[in-house]
A and B are shown apart, each in its own frame.
Chain A
Amino acid sequence: MSKLNFLATLPEAVLLTAACLILVADQFVPEHRRNLSYSISLTALAAVALCCWNLLDGQGVQYAFGGMFVADPMAQVLKLFACLATGFALVYAQNYARARAIWRGELFSLALFTLLGVMVMISANNLLLIYLGLELQSLALYALVALQRDQPRAGEAAMKYFVLGALASGFLLYGMSMLYGATGTLDINEIAHRIAASQVANRPALVLATVFLVAGIGFKLGAAPFHMWVPDVYHGAPTPVTLLIASAPKMAAFAVAFRLLVEGLTPVAGDWHLMLLLLALTSLAVGNLTAVAQSNLKRMLGYSTIGQMGFMLLAMQSGVAGGTTASAASAYAAAMFYVLTYALATLVAFGIMLLMSRRGFEAEEISDLSGLFRQRPWYAFAMALAMFSLAGVPPTVGFYAKLVVLQSLLADNSALPVVWIAVIAVLFSLVGAFYYIRVVKVMYFDLPGADHPLDASADMKIALTANGLAVIVLGVVPQYLLGLCSSAMVRTLGG
């Protein structure tokens, strides 16, 4: 436990090196050879993904840095997908960023630092390390949002993100400090151990700490009622940055929720499971109902994220309701699968938006997509698949995400209220389906405006095609990804 065990942190080490390398290289590379930074980033991401993949096989749970850092199968899966998501986001960003003069070294180094923060959060086994990862991720993202600094909207979004993000960090930190006060340790395993052994005299402090932690996690996930920043930041940030915010950080927030609540605070699960249920239901209602009224695609996806996270939290809270380890593992695996499929579909949606954008034109209104089917049938098809996936219509992968969440929710179906919660959840999903298929309607049924010349690079087209195909292929044969999530979760909880 007290070993350094450096090998377990290899992915982070590689990533940090690459990020620093870009920072240095940037000083010597002229502006027109900026592709060097791009190549280094993609190579580094591939290397990191490979490391995670290798670490996934074989060992169970490993600790490093004296128990501060944990490398378990769940962490490897999440890191792997966070790398892939960031990589795809950078590929998609190319066109857009070049046209707006933000194709600079900062974009890459900040994106990699964001990812580093995400990975630290995923693997943190200590309250301080969680906070450190969180701040690393957040600070890099604040800067990224403000990257287009001559745009007033981006500045506003960055400010809003910063203030509310700082507030959320404050909540989280306050909760952590109370937790530390109540238990006398920062180590998550030790916290669970001490609470379970009833060494905690100050129960109210513990519950209050849980409240603040849940609020902080709610902020980071963008769950209602802590969602106010989501639509504004999604809308205001440059589209590639919105994509970065929408993908990997959600995985980190999921991991933090898992570490803090499931690994650390299982003994008070009775308290936080109701809080999560409340967050889930309000998110489903607020996110889905508000998204209907949006005409801006980025805002709509922002609100829809809120609803999606609500659905994911349903699985998260049902893990403790069942009681057994097996049902808990399947519930958290369901939540993880949900986050991953959400990221997969969101990547396609933003990828299409970035594909359509060109110099002096932001494709971000839903109506900007009108008639896409008549001009670019394949990309319209990919976007339609992403929308059907988010709506949960088979045979896309998003359907299985909804399925496994419902399955974990109904695992203990002796209690009838659970059935009604499931019914409420699917009814809000129906509302969600309305605005998702409206996008399909605009693309397929409406007549196109002027033809857009696409000046996308080949790698972007390939990536977008692969990404779109993944949504349907994983929907026809979902076993692979489902099995990956479930076996990782079983090994994480078992070891």
Chain B
Amino acid sequence: MTATFPWLSAAIWIPIGFGLFLLSAGRDRSAGVVRAVALVGSLVGMLATVPVVSGFNLERASLQFEEKVVWIDTLNANYHLGVDGLSIWFVPLTAFITVIAVLAGWKAIGERVAQYYASFLIMSGLLIGVFSAADGLLFYVFFEATLIPMYIIIGVWGGPNRVYAAIKFFLYTLLGSFLLLVALVFLYQSSSGSFEIFAWQRLPIGMTAQILLFLAFFAAFAVKVPMWPVHTWLPDAHVEAPTAGSVVLAAIMLKLGAYGFLRFSLPIAPDAAHHLAGFVIALSLIAVIYIGFVALVQTDMKKLVAYSSIAHMGFVTLGFFIFSPIGMEGAIAQMVSHGFVSGAMFLCIGVMYDRTHSRNIADYGGVVNTMPRFAALMMLFAMANCGLPATSGFVGEFMVILGAVQYDFWIGLAAATTLVLGAAYSLWMYKRVIFGSIANSAVAQMTDADSRELLALGLLAAAVLAMGVYPRPLTDAMHVSVGQLLQQVSHSKLP
């Protein structure tokens, strides 16, 4: 089936168009109109992704909804879009999270509202662009361009230490990206002038070059994931970013790195990937176990969730590098699930922060007494965060552990510790914040979540439960593409 209408382009450019409109026409005087326009923009953007999901052919491994137009003739670069089983879920996920992000900043942001929403909408389009780009240069342009709005969001609307966090975020990511650029240009020249990612995947490359390419990709994507030990920008960025910024950062931006592994590292440098798999697995396990312990001792809720994100993303990279269908599908499922769960956790923290202006666990206690409905929803997300069956968190973790045990029992065992650690840090935090008697007057004055907050949290809760109860559509869509990718990875590309 060939799509006649360019839905992917629509999904990319509708939010960007709305964003540019807000940027040029929006004023603080009419903040209400600006919010409404932003909501409409994000909803229309999300509607545009619906046909992509509903029209997706489960049997095909190759790209669907392809669009190809010559973009830069001189460089032989094309505006080439398309989704396959690896990327299909991230397109609607991004659009969905953008709607949540728009709702999240509804009241908290009072100044320069137009620029704020414009940043989110533009970023949403760019992120969808990253997931659907089939041209290396186009991918890079989208990948890099997302830095600018996020830098502005953290730096302008962030917390007290926002400047440090924003610059750290920018430079950390840029270092990896520049090395990625060198790798892309190297591939361009090796493939005698092509930016097609799929042409690069067929290109025979020697071992030294493969290892260098792999390391360059690794520099870009491992920082983005982030993997231990290049994760230190993430807690800073999360803590300082406004709630919606944290939501998008955790739910979508971290996935860019993991997605990069799928699209670039594994298929383009498969021999190097096998060669260095032990190294990546070791780093992933460190992330799962060590960062799990680090999360346990956090006193700041946002930091705690940030560290738990790193641990969960360690699961994703682990799933990739055990080279089995169940591990890889589990890793992708984990990526999608983490998008919902971490987004929801940050949103919950944001809801409380809006009321008390504190993120310290010690400043809370007994929230359930004043915010019962909110507490019930947060319970669900905390459970999903530690991988309770029937929530989305269980699906990916279980599949990855299963794959890891098949690969090596001890690796599987080490990975499984996350079930203990995750439960420990998530539920302990939940207990200290929500249960008990009312800790202080600030908590006593908290009002339960209003309808807007309940809507945002409810949508996320529905997604978490739906995915946990019936994950089949999720894995069905990726099945064929994952199989093809694993086959590619198992064939040596040495000339």
Contacts and interface: CB of A to CB of B under 8 A. Distances in A.
A419 interface: yes
Interface string A436-466: 0110110011100000000000000000000
A416 B185 CA distance: 14
Interface string B142-173: 00110110011001100000110011001100
Given A411-B189, A413-B189, A434-B171, A444 B71 contact: no
A479 B147 CA distance: 23
Interface in B164-202: 166-167, 170-171, 174-175, 178-179, 181-182, 185-186, 188-190
Contacts of B208: 416
Contacts of B186: 410, 413, 419
Nearest to B170: A437
B73 interface: yes
Interface string A395-409: 100011011101100
A444 B155 contact: yes
A429 interface: yes
Q: Is the interface of A mostly helix, strand, loop or mixed?
A: helix
B212 A426 contact: no
B163 A419 contact: no
B151 A437 contact: yes
A395 B138 CA distance: 10
Given A399-B144, A407-B188, A444-B152, A479 B72 contact: yes
A430 B156 contact: no
Contacts of B171: 430, 433-434, 437
Nearest to A431: B171
Interface string B185-227: 1101110000000000000000010001000000000000000
Nearest to B162: A445
B140 interface: yes
B87 interface: no
Given A393-B174, A426-B178, A482 B74 contact: yes
B374 to A, nearest CB: 32
A394 B145 contact: yes
Interface residues of A, number: 41
A184 interface: no
B75 interface: yes
B115 interface: yes
B112 interface: yes
Contact of A422 (B74, B170, B174, B182): B182
B466 interface: no
B413 interface: no
Nearest to A374: B112
Interface string A342-354: 0000000000000
Secondary structure call for the B interface: helix
A445 B448 CA distance: 33
B189 A410 contact: yes
B282 interface: no
Given A406-B182, A419-B212, A437 B167 contact: yes
A478 interface: yes
Contacts of B212: 419
Nearest to B144: A394
A423 B182 contact: yes
B141 interface: yes
Contact of B163 (A373, A407, A413, A445): A445
Interface in B68-110: 71-75
Contacts of B181: 402-403, 406, 426
Contacts of B71: 477, 479
A388 B162 CA distance: 20
A486 interface: yes
- Kindly name the residue among A377, A393, A407 whose own CB sees the greatest number of chain B CB atoms within 10 A: A393
Contacts of A482: 72, 74-75
A422 B185 contact: yes
B482 to A, nearest CB: 30
Given A399-B144, A482-B74, A483-B73, A430 B185 contact: no
Contacts of A486: 74
Nearest to B188: A407
Given A422-B182, A445-B155, A445-B163, A395 B145 contact: yes
Contacts of B166: 441, 445
Interface string A466-489: 000000000001110011001000
Contacts of B162: 445
A257 B141 CA distance: 32
A324 to B, nearest CB: 13
Interface string A77-102: 00000000000000000000000000
Contact of A445 (B141, B156, B179): B156
Contact of B174 (A374, A400, A433): A433
A403 B152 contact: no
Nearest to B111: A374
A479 B185 contact: no
A444 B119 CA distance: 13
Nearest to B140: A394
A7 interface: no
Contacts of B144: 393-395, 399
A427 interface: yes
Given A395-B145, A426-B179, A433-B174, A410 B72 contact: no
Contacts of A406: 181-182, 185
A121 B6 CA distance: 50
Contacts of A438: 167
A67 to B, nearest CB: 32
A399 B147 CA distance: 14
B152 to A, nearest CB: 6
Contacts of A404: 75
Contacts of A446: 163
A486 B182 CA distance: 21
Contacts of A433: 170-171, 174
Interface in B39-91: 71-75
Contacts of B163: 441, 445-446
A188 to B, nearest CB: 28
Nearest to A407: B185
Contacts of A388: 148
B141 A395 contact: yes
Nearest to A406: B185
Contact of A479 (B73, B140, B152, B156): B73
A393 B147 contact: yes
A466 to B, nearest CB: 15
Contacts of B115: 377
Nearest to A404: B75
A404 B115 CA distance: 32
Nearest to A392: B178
A427 B152 CA distance: 23
A402 to B, nearest CB: 8
Contact of A429 (B140, B178, B185, B189): B178
Contacts of B179: 423, 426
A430 B178 contact: yes
Given A406-B182, A441-B163, A394 B141 contact: yes
A427 B182 CA distance: 11
B182 A419 contact: yes
A137 B208 CA distance: 50
B194 to A, nearest CB: 12
Given A403-B181, A426-B182, 20 more contacts: A373-B112, A373-B156, A377-B115, A381-B23, A393-B145, A402-B181, A406-B181, A406-B182, A406-B185, A410-B185, A413-B186, A419-B182, A430-B171, A430-B175, A441-B163, A445-B166, A477-B71, A478-B72, A479-B72, A479-B74
4 nearest A-B residue pairs (beta carbon)? A426-B178, A394-B141, A445-B155, A482-B74
Interface of B: 23, 71-75, 112, 115, 137, 140-141, 144-145, 147-148, 151-152, 155-156, 162-163, 166-167, 170-171, 174-175, 178-179, 181-182, 185-186, 188-190, 208, 212
11 contacts: A377-B112, A377-B115, A381-B23, A393-B174, A407-B189, A410-B186, A413-B189, A419-B212, A434-B171, A445-B162, A479-B72
